[in-house]
Amino acid sequence: MDLPEFRQMFEASEPERIAYSIAHGARSAVRALESHATFGIDLGEASAQANQTRTPLDGTDVDDALSFLKSRRERRSGTFSPANVGLEISAEPDEQGEQQIGYDVAAWEAALVAAHEAGVIALGEEDEYRSLGDSGAVARGDRLASLLDNGLPFAIVDPLDGSNQAAGMGQRSGWAACSMVKLPGMPHPAVAVLLGDGRGFVAADDRVWMAESSHPDRPPIFYSLDVDRSKRGLRRGHYVVPAAKRSTLERAYAIMKSDLSIEYISPLGGNPGILAAMYGAAAPAAMQPEAYAWDHMAALVLAHGGFPVIRAHDDTPLGAQSLSELLLTDMIAGRRTETLYMGRTLDDARKLRDADILSKEVSSEE
């Protein structure tokens, strides 16, 4: 049997490499905090101690060691932060009514280090506009518009999508680090989503590549994904309908009630839940409720992979180019992108979409 096409990350385009490095930095920070919480091991300190054992043999080695030490302080403080970061929850709730978790802060700092090293300006859920609410979204949009007008490189980043699954549940396949990178002179952005369990997705130019390991010491081999979307997983199809809190649980229940053939759901949605279910488990369809661009990264990956992605009032599937333009346009306007539905087939996406619309109509009548 022929193996699928594969490549090393250095063979990828520059936007793909940068997107992956940003997401990898954020993911590594969260994994370091998980290890500290579980085993009491500070991976940053362990790495520093290990690097001290190197013995220079000539002048070049000395120069390399000095360069390493100069960059180590910023990288170490930005990536790993103090030992207690992420182990406590801040007292101030964010605009969604949930408390911001220290893991998010550490992941954002690590993503910023990677973005700065690549000369890319990072915007996203944990940026300086977060605390300003709706006015912050407008200010962020103005800045993004300026970056595009001036042809400057930027990244849209969600350093930790699934904070509750990471810090509250320890569910590694339920959280991910996400990054979308647009460089001047490149027609379209590239996107990377790294799940906490080590599966990494990188997409650009209507192709999706996946690696099974994102270990920093093992350069992963990325395999081209060209799945047979006619094949299903379990006979009892599990639809990805977010239901991790009361508001989403009520919506999921209403959807199941409006279409009795939808009997099973995967309640941990978002970018990690959608990719884990649609690519890893052959789920029939998924939905991402109205959200800012960084929460629609999974839909963008699926669009690159040929999965139909549709909106509520338009059956025309959005290609990766059209979807990325929609996400950036909405973000510039300071608004969330509408609910997106994606399926293995267009009929699958329509089924979940119609059930969601019907559930809202029934709820309004009641």
Q: Check which CATH number belongs to the domain holding 160 and give it.
A: 3.30.540.10
Nearest in space to 178 (alpha carbons), one of 167, 188, 163, 64: 163
**pLDDT, tens digit, 9 for 90 and up, residues 116-172:** 999 999 999 999 998 888 899 999 999 999 999 999 999 999 999 988 787 777 788
Count structural domains, the chain. Answer: 2
State whether 244 and 212 are in the same domain.
no
Q: Where do we find the tokens 């306007």? A: 333
State whether 273 and 333 are in the same domain.
yes
DSSP assignment of 80-137: T-STTTTSSEEEEE-TTSSEEEHHHHHHHHHHHHHHHHTT-EEEETTSTTGGGHHHHH
Asked, for residue 281, whether it belongs to a domain, the answer is yes
Which pLDDT belongs to residue 342? 97
Structure confidence at residue 38 as a pLDDT band (50, 70, 90): confident
DSSP assignment of 177-191: EEEEEE-TT-SS-EE
Q: Which range, of 91-105, 298-312, 333-347, averages the lowest pLDDT?
A: 91-105
Structure confidence at residue 87 as a pLDDT band (50, 70, 90): very low
Q: Check which CATH number belongs to the domain holding 267 and give it.
A: 3.40.190.80
Q: Of the candidates 176, 192, 224, which is a domain's last residue?
A: 224
Asked, for residue 265, whether it belongs to a domain, the answer is yes
Q: Which range, of 13-27, 199-213, 351-365, averages the lowest pLDDT?
A: 351-365
Asked, for residue 16, whether it belongs to a domain, the answer is yes
209 vs 92, residue with greater confidence: 209
pLDDT above 90 coverage of the chain, percent? 57
State whether 298 and 201 are in the same domain.
no
State whether 67 and 152 are in the same domain.
yes
Asked, for residue 328, whether it belongs to a domain, the answer is yes
- What is the biggest distance separating any 2 CA atoms in the chain, rounded to whole angstroms? 79
Q: Which range, of 9-18, 47-56, 164-173, 203-212, averages the lowest pLDDT?
A: 47-56
State whether 53 and 145 are in the same domain.
yes
Nearest in space to 243 (alpha carbons), one of 258, 229, 230, 253: 253
State whether 213 and 312 are in the same domain.
no
Which pLDDT belongs to residue 166? 78
Q: Where do we find the tokens 């599966």? A: 199
Residue by residue, what is the 3-state secondary structure of 217-247? CCCCEEEECCCCCCCCCCCCCEEECCCCCHH
Structure confidence at residue 55 as a pLDDT band (50, 70, 90): low
* CA atoms lying within 13 Å on the CB side of residue 326: 22
Average pLDDT, the chain: 84
Beta carbons of 318 and 309 less than 8 angstroms apart: yes
**pLDDT, tens digit, 9 for 90 and up, residues 261-307:** 999 998 888 999 999 999 988 899 999 999 999 999 999 999 999 99
Asked, for residue 196, whether it belongs to a domain, the answer is yes
Which pLDDT belongs to residue 75? 52
State whether 136 and 258 are in the same domain.
no
Q: Of the candidates 201, 224, 247, which is a domain's last residue?
A: 224
State whether 143 and 252 are in the same domain.
no
Residues 75-103: what's their mean pLDDT? 48
Helix (H, G, I), strand (E, B) or coil at 27: helix
Structure confidence at residue 72 as a pLDDT band (50, 70, 90): low
State whether 139 and 243 are in the same domain.
no
Beta carbons of 268 and 249 less than 8 angstroms apart: no
Q: Give the structural domain span for 273.
A: 238-365
- Is the confidence at residue 94, as pLDDT, over 70? no
State whether 117 and 28 are in the same domain.
yes
Q: 285: how many CB neighbours lie within 10 A of its CB?
A: 28
b/e sequence 139-173, b meaning 16+ C-beta within 10 Å:
ebbebbeebeeeeebbbbbbbbbbbbbbbeeebbb
State whether 187 and 258 are in the same domain.
no
Beta carbons of 30 and 103 less than 8 angstroms apart: yes
Nearest in space to 205 (alpha carbons), one of 222, 194, 189, 225: 189
Structure confidence at residue 178 as a pLDDT band (50, 70, 90): very high
State whether 183 and 264 are in the same domain.
no
- Is the confidence at residue 48, as pLDDT, over 70? no
Asked, for residue 231, whether it belongs to a domain, the answer is no
- Is the confidence at residue 97, as pLDDT, over 60? no
Residues 321-326: what's their mean pLDDT? 96
Asked, for residue 232, whether it belongs to a domain, the answer is no
